[in-house]
Amino acid sequence: MTPIIALGQSELTLWPLMLWLFTATIGLVIGSYLNVVIYRLPRMLEIAPLPTNNTTKAFNLWWPRSHCPHCNATLGVRDLIPLVSYLSLGGKCRYCHQPISWSYPIIETVTAATFLCIVATFGLSWLAVASGVLTCSLIVLGVLDYKYHILPDNVTLPILWLGLLLNINGLFVPVEDAIIGASVGYLSLWTVFWIHKFITGKAGLGYGDFKFLALLGAWLGWASLPFIVVLASICGLVYAAVQYGRGRLTRTTPLPLGTFLALGGWWALLQGWW
């Protein structure tokens, strides 16, 4: 594992504290941008409605500027400091005092926490940087599937190909394992889909799930897939049991398999099952 920065003995005293603070800060900032992607991408794909007070023709990841979805006030720098702004404002908009969704600080905090776990596991290395990219994609895809039941190709496919490219030199696994992993990941759920449809006449999975498991296979290799699928299944069963107990689950309620695959994939990444 090649380190990005080599330190002398005299620099090691303050380095751990600086490293953790730097990692947490980067995680919070990137988590803030992931919130933008999670909010805007479904609206760009016309899966979720645009804000009713949206007055601009362009709506993408860069435009319009960050604004309150309630009063449309453009947010300044002091309103966009990850986690700090939310806490200082008491979870409400500075201008209209409407509540800000709790999902924003949670995603920022989760991103920072996962980055800390990655650095603790892999150190400050290129492997940690690549793991951070994969983690960001898992957070975005996991949340989108949970909230909207979508796994967009414009996130899944570029990350899948990136995993194959990174493994050309065996960053995570040999490239042969990555290619087999992508193929087995896709074909395994594709087979389950058609068996279920043949027996029941209904689609039990979405095509996005096939591509998502292929993505994980491309990054972590075919050997990681059984662990990922088993852990995702356990998480899905626990989630279903809890939701059924709360009266929020019926036989026709779709389960966000992508969310559970994201959890299994990240745990496989951290535990080194690949």
pLDDT in tens, 32-81: 999 999 999 998 888 877 766 555 567 777 777 887 877 777 888 888 88
Q: Single out the residue in 107, 122, 137 at which a domain terminates.
A: 122
Divide the 274 residues of the chain into consecutive groups of 10 and give the mean pLDDT of each group: 52 70 95 94 83 65 79 81 88 87 94 96 92 98 95 96 96 96 96 88 86 97 95 94 85 87 96 74
3-state class of 74 per DSSP? strand
Please indicate, yes or no, whether residues 228 and 266 belong to a single structural domain of this protein.
yes
For residues 213 and 225, is the Cβ–Cβ distance under 8 A?
yes
Please indicate, yes or no, whether residues 129 and 92 belong to a single structural domain of this protein.
no
Please indicate, yes or no, whether residues 177 and 135 belong to a single structural domain of this protein.
yes
Please indicate, yes or no, whether residues 72 and 142 belong to a single structural domain of this protein.
no
3-state class of 184 per DSSP? helix
- Give the total number of structural domains in the chain: 2
Please indicate, yes or no, whether residues 46 and 137 belong to a single structural domain of this protein.
no
Please indicate, yes or no, whether residues 54 and 93 belong to a single structural domain of this protein.
yes
Please indicate, yes or no, whether residues 111 and 236 belong to a single structural domain of this protein.
no
Evaluate whether residue 2 is within a structural domain.
Answer: no
Please indicate, yes or no, whether residues 42 and 77 belong to a single structural domain of this protein.
yes
CA distances in angstroms from 34 to 82, 229, 259, listed in the order given: 11, 25, 15
Evaluate whether residue 70 is within a structural domain.
Answer: yes
Please give the residue range of the domain that contains residue 219: 125-274
